[in-house]
Amino acid sequence: MCVGGESPLKLGDWTGKHTTEGRLEYFNNLGGTSTEYTVGVKNDKINNGKLTHIPSIYNGRPVSQQEAEQIIINNGGKDPETGRFITPGGNPAERSSNIKVLPGRYQSRNRAIT
């Protein structure tokens, strides 16, 4: 998975922070941090094939688009790390600017990611 022709996204250590939704923040190889890297998909099993932006970071590692789609399908249209139902559409840039990262202790939601 490449970001605009750059090196593939790789995650390092947890920063000790998490989003208000419960996603952990990790240092990345691009000189910043990542909580979710969204991919736009059109899959008949996700929102009836409507363009939907889904996360592609699970259990602290980037996954392929195919793996990300299957994770959302297996979890009934929800992000298993947050419990949030993934709705069609979405603007990744707008979503990124609205995600708040919190310092402090993270309490696992104990969701199985399959």
Per-residue pLDDT of the chain (114 residues; tens, 9 = 90+): 444 455 689 999 999 999 888 899 999 999 999 998 899 999 999 999 999 999 999 999 999 999 999 999 999 999 999 999 999 987 666 655 556 666 765 454 444 444
* Closest C-alpha to 80, from 58, 98, 48, 95: 58
**Contacting residues for 23 by C-beta, under 8 A, at least 6 apart:** 35, 36, 55, 57, 81, 82
**pLDDT at 93 (0 to 100):** 63
**pLDDT at 104 (0 to 100):** 62
Dist. CA 38–CA 40, nearest whole Å: 7
